[in-house]
Amino acid sequence: MQPDEMDVEMSKDNRAAVFTGFAANRPGWLASISVLAAALLGPTLITFMPDNATGPAVSVVLACVVAASLIGFFASVGAVARTLSAIAFIVAASTAVVFTHLTAMTSPRPISSTADLIGAGTPATLLLVGILLALAAAVRSPAAAQADNSDGLRPPSRPDPKLKSLDAMFHYLDWWEQEFNRTRKVVKRRAAKVTIWTTALTGAIAVLGAISASISNNPLQDLIAICTTAASATTAVLLAWNEHFHHKDLWIQRSQVLHQLQNLRIDYERASRETKSRRARKRLAQNLSEHLKAVLAKDVQDWKSIQGGS
């Protein structure tokens, strides 16, 4: 291979690695990108807003940033990534409290200009939050880097051309059995996360509301109000994500397909050991191929039904 061809191959591998890393933690990357965009574009966009609308608009953006940091925390993989996301959440929540307290009590007038906003340190803090979320999305343990967290089915690899027809069919059966087992675990884990975190956040919202009603400390009330808003927004995102992908339904459907494939393996493994003639083994390979195609076709039909397709 020539040096130029090697450079092209390396660049393709690098691009593939970048896209694979992005897909591995897409929610975390999207959360960091949205926060960085708010930090970089916010001061410019504020110049086009009326003076009396600047403060409320920034408060809404800060609440969204807190929600984004929560989403980044839920999407984090590993202790280091979760620690970085937790720090980002604390910084975002603290910034929101300081900004709300500054506009409501300390400042004699509402913050109404880009200079005031920069003076309050808001863009720099949001930039820090975005960088922390990006680092959390990029950090992956060796075990997580090797694991494929996609719930989509990968196409099978080609069998060795030297394999006989029945052995080639067993190659495909092995592949699909491993794929359905992998995707079943992925959607099961996602369904469990949605159930646990939505329940925890709903309970946290109720607790924060009760605490807020029983205290009179304005800064603490501001913090609780912002955390409550962020928890509500995060819960809505989690429920919409689950409603779109139907993780629990996919978990059940993948388990059923895996059960069918395992039954095929048991039946045809036994039959292959009892069959000795070449003609009988070819017939067995043809039957296995037809049964495998039927299972995969039923899987596609059930998947479309779960996703609301025709």
| Per-residue pLDDT tens digits of the chain, which is 310 residues long | 444 444 444 344 444 444 444 555 677 777 788 888 877 777 677 666 666 666 667 777 777 788 788 777 777 777 787 788 888 888 887 777 776 666 654 444 444 444 454 444 677 777 888 888 888 877 765 555 445 567 778 888 888 888 888 888 999 999 999 999 988 988 888 888 888 878 877 877 777 777 666 666 666 666 677 677 777 877 888 888 888 888 889 999 999 999 999 999 999 988 888 888 888 888 999 999 999 999 999 999 998 888 875 4
pLDDT of residue 290: 94
Contact 198, 238 (CB under 8 A): yes
